[in-house]
Amino acid sequence: MGLAYGRKLGSKVGIGVQFNYNAIQISSYGNSSAINFEIGTVLHLTDKLHTGVHVYNPVGGKFGKDQEEKLASIFTAGLGYDASEIFFVGAEIEKEENQPVNVNAGLQYKFLPQLLARIGIATNTANIYAGLGLGLRSFRLDVVAGYHPQLGVTPGLLLLYNFSKNGNE
């Protein structure tokens, strides 16, 4: 579970931070939790070209009675291009602690201003995903599903709320 906050720092830069509560529960082994944070920034190079960096868990977080299980740190840099008002393409390079470099790439298409669809792939596991987003005033609800060759289908749900007065910022 996470709680995030983002803010514009002028017309070209945005920054965000998220605090996470991670919990594990395994029968016969008990349960454990850890708290961590992540931070990122987006730079709008032009009206259509954007770049950003993101750091997840930079100071570590550990699970278990003896604090032996560690949450990995992840460093990401990406580039996105708004080909038009309805079509976006993006890619990122991701380095997770003790893992090989991964490239994530995806496309997003807006059928209507309130309805969008997206697809993407992660190269290190050939993990593919797809999702639909529905916007209503200041809310957006995204339903997503990913497919991993060994783990199968993983569903997801995202609820976003825009606190700006007009819902367009």
The string of pLDDT tens digits covering residues 76-119 is 999 999 999 999 999 999 999 889 999 999 999 999 989 999 99
Structural domains of the chain, count = 2
| CB atoms near residue 41 (< 10 Å) | 15
Phi, psi for residue 97 in degrees, rounded to 5: -55, 130
Give the end-to-end CA distance of the chain in Å, rounded to a whole number: 25
Structural domain of 50: 1-76
The tokens describing 5, both together, are 């906050």
Q: Does residue 124 lie in a domain region?
A: yes
The string of pLDDT tens digits covering residues 135-147 is 998 899 999 999 9
Answer yes or no: is pLDDT of 169 > 60: no
**Pair 55, 115 in one domain:** no
pTM, to two decimals: 0.74
Answer yes or no: is pLDDT of 28 > 90: no
Read off the amino acid at residue 21. Answer: Y
d(CA 154, CA 99): 21
